[in-house]
Every structure is written in C-alpha cells, then in structure tokens.
Structure 1
Amino acid sequence: MDTHNEIIEPNKEDIVFFDGVCNLCNGFVNYIIDRDTEKQYVFASLQSDQSQKLLKNYDFDPSRLSSVALLKSDGELLVKSDAALKILTSLGGKLKLLSVFYVFPSFLRDFFYDIIARYRYKWFGRKDQCRIPTPELKQRFLDAY
C-alpha cells in the first residue's frame, strides 16, 4: 500500500499546526486556548511525527516552519494568513471584526505574514524544545498522545 496516499479520517476538531519552538507561535496557541470555549481546536507542533503523517497528503511541507496551518475537520488545509484569520474570527466576539482583512487578497495578506514569519525568532525569540502541555491541556495536543 502506498502510504503517501493514505486516507486520513476526518477529525471532529480542527487541527492547528504551529512551530513548537517559536515564542510567537506558542503565544498564539495560548491565545487560542484561552478563548476557545467550545474546544473546537486541537494542536500539533509542525516538528512532530504526528504532523508529518497528517500533512503528507497535502501540498504542504511541515518542515516549512514559517507558517501556521489549519487542517479543518472537513479536510481543507489553510495556511498563513488564511489560517490565522479563520482561527481568530472563529473565536467570536470582537475578533470577528478581523474578517475585514478578507477584502485583501491572500497574496497581499501573506506578504505581511511572511515578513513577520521571517523575523519571528529575532523579534520574539525561540525555545530550545517544543511546548509540553500541562496535564489539563494534554488532550488538546495531538503530539501528547
């Protein structure tokens, strides 16, 4: 069997893939966790084996650590500004106002996203290892299973 074309069963939650050693990315994950009252998201660092397995069927290289990715429960993969905006606007409240940025084409939004991504370690720092979730949050991280 060709494991490259292996079918991945849909998840009931959307999966947020992030750079596990990036302080900005970890801050983004904490921000989501604090506001995701419906627990619609689970998380996986791009460095994990689980991420490699899940993303191999998409045109996305998990070693490209400069992009947050969102694998929706319906199988659609969003990256960069599309992923960030979808996540933030789905959290409700005033964050829905960020949907105004959808009026700009993704190539323009991604231009600015890429600038932040390129300098994120310099501006925000990095950790020596991927985030280890607390026991309370362990079930929300795929890598922690």
Structure 2
Amino acid sequence: MKLADIETCFERLADQLPDPKTELTYSSPYTLLVAVVLSAQATDVGVNRATKGLFAAAATPQAMVALGVDGIAHHIRTIGLFNTKAKNVHRLSELLIEAHDGIVPDDRAALEALPGVGRKTANVVLNEAFGQPTIAVDTHIFRVGNRTGMAP
C-alpha cells in the first residue's frame, strides 16, 4: 500500500472516530492497568462487570495487595484464567509499591516488566492514561496491517 493510501485510511478513521477511547471502565492509571491486564482473552463487558466490585474493594495498589490473591480471584472469577490473573494483579501491585511508589509508570519498559503486562497492554495504558501516541496491536490488527501493506 502506498504511503498516500495509508494516510487517507488514517484520515478516514480519524474523521469517523476523532477521539477513540477504551470501553473499559477505570478511574485512574492504576485501575486502567488492572482492567487491561484482566481483559486478555475476555470481553470488555465481562471485565467491566468484574471490576465494578473489585475496584469498589480495592482501587489502589496498596488496597489490592491487602485484598490478597484469593480476594482478587473472588471478584474476577467470572473472567477466564482468573486464578493466574489474580496472581498477576497482586504481584504487579506489589511491584508498583516496591519500585514505583505505588504509581503506574509512563514508560514502556517499566510497564512490560510487570506481571501480565505485554506490549499491547503497555500501549493501551500509555495511550489512554498518559496520552502517548501508541497503537495497541492485537492479532487481528497485526493480520490486517500485514495484508493491506500498512505494516512494514
């Protein structure tokens, strides 16, 4: 695909959706991070349903650590892979406290060092919470980008 065609495509997307936002419900960079970690292989609707109670009980890394793995798992049991995700959320909360004073870093490498956080999750958090110009690429976007020639 030619550069001009790619630019036209992005212009059309921007016209249709000038201010794209995630459908995940969150109130802070921390709750966004947790919601995105939980969204792997789950729907946003399902994650929002689970995080409503979770975030009422624990909306900070400190509160999440206090809730414990079992408490986290109880709130997210309707989401697939909830036991692993509960462990990841608990550990990433501990690491945020230990290494970042309980604050979500706005740095890709620091985010990707957290359990359950890969490039896609980091990109969502960096873009949504910190306004950085990133694109979250899942397998579908990757496939379309390669088939259309939009990706190198």
Q: TM-score, normalised by structure 1?
A: 0.26
- Would you tell me which structure has more helix in proportion to its own residues? 2
**Could you state the TM-score of these two structures normalised by the residue count of structure 2?**
0.25
Q: Considering fraction of residues, name the structure with more strand.
A: 1
